[in-house]
Amino acid sequence: MSNYFNRSNLALLLLVGVLLASCNNGTKKDDDTATTNSPASTATSAPKGAVLSGTLDNLYVKRIAFDSIGNGSKIVFSHTIAPGSKILLDGFKSQGNDFNPKTPVIQLQYSSVSSTSYGPGVYFTNVVLDANNFNAIKTALGDSATSPNKFVIFKPKADNTYTGFIKYEIFVSPTSSFTAEATAAAIADANPSPPKAS
C-alpha cells in the first residue's frame, strides 16, 4: 500500500509540476507587446469623428421638369448626397401636408460651386417651393415651343429669418451655369421647412 501512495504522490507531483511550468511559460512579456495591447493605447489611437463641412453648390434642372408638373403645385425638396459628396436636392410633389418620398418629380443636378458654406450649426431640412413661387417659375419659363432651352437654377443662401437654415433663390437661365449676367434677379424662393413653434 505504501508503494501505491508513493507512486500516486509522485504522479501527482509530476502533474502539478507540469501545470506550474506551463502556467509560467509566456507570462513575461516584453515592454513593446504589453504597451500595444493596453486599453489606454487602444483608446488614444481611435480615429476622431470628421466634421461635416464644405461649400454648397448651385444646382439646376432642365425646364422640362417644370413643364411636366401642373400649375399651383407645391414641391418639397429633400437633400441627398450624390457620388463625389455633392449635396443635391430631389423634389417631391406635395399631397396635402405629405409627399411620396419614393418618387421624386424633380432631381436637381450640380451646376457650379456657390459661395454658401455649411458646417456645425447648419440644419439640412426639407426646402419647400410653394404654389405661388412654383407658378412664378412656370411664368418665367414661358412657352416651351418658343423657348425650349431654358434651365431653372437653385442658388443656396443662408436664411436670414431662420439662423442656421439654408434656403434657395431660384433663377431661370438660358444655360445650366449660374452667371449674374444670365440671371439678373431671383424670381422665386424655396424656403426651409423648420420645426414650427407650437
The answer to whether 192 and 129 have CB atoms below 8 angstroms apart is no
The answer to whether 169 and 189 have CB atoms below 8 angstroms apart is yes
DSSP E strand boundaries for 35-132: 54-62, 75-82, 86-95, 98-99, 106-107, 109-118, 127-129
pLDDT of residue 76: 92
Report yes or no on 88 lying in a domain.
yes
Angstrom distance (rounded) from CA 117 to CA 53: 7
Report yes or no on 47 lying in a domain.
no
Report yes or no on 9 lying in a domain.
no
Domain that holds residue 136: 54-192
Report yes or no on 17 lying in a domain.
no
Q: In Å, how far are 14, 15, 121 from 4, measured between CA atoms? A: 15, 16, 83
Judge residue 79's burial from the number of C-beta atoms within 10 Å of its C-beta, 0-12 exposed, 13-18 middle, 19 or more buried. Answer: middle
Q: Is 171 left (phi over 0), alpha (psi -120 to 50) or beta?
A: beta
* Residue 148 pLDDT > 70: yes
- Write out pLDDT tens, residues 85-108: 899 999 999 887 777 778 899 999
Report yes or no on 147 lying in a domain.
yes
- Write out pLDDT tens, residues 69-86: 999 999 999 999 998 889
Provide the domain count of the chain.
1
Number of other residues whose CB lies within 10 A of the CB of residue 10: 10
The answer to whether 93 and 69 have CB atoms below 8 angstroms apart is yes
Q: 109-118 and 127-129: which strand pairing?
A: unpaired
Report yes or no on 8 lying in a domain.
no
Helix (H, G, I), strand (E, B) or coil at 61: strand
* Residue 26 pLDDT > 80: no
- Write out pLDDT tens, residues 155-166: 999 998 889 999
Angstrom distance (rounded) from CA 141 to CA 158: 26
Report yes or no on 18 lying in a domain.
no
- Identify the top-confidence range among 2-16, 43-57, 150-164: 150-164
pTM of the model: 0.69
Sign of CA dihedral 66, 68, 70, 74: negative
Report yes or no on 187 lying in a domain.
yes
Angstrom distance (rounded) from CA 169 to CA 178: 11
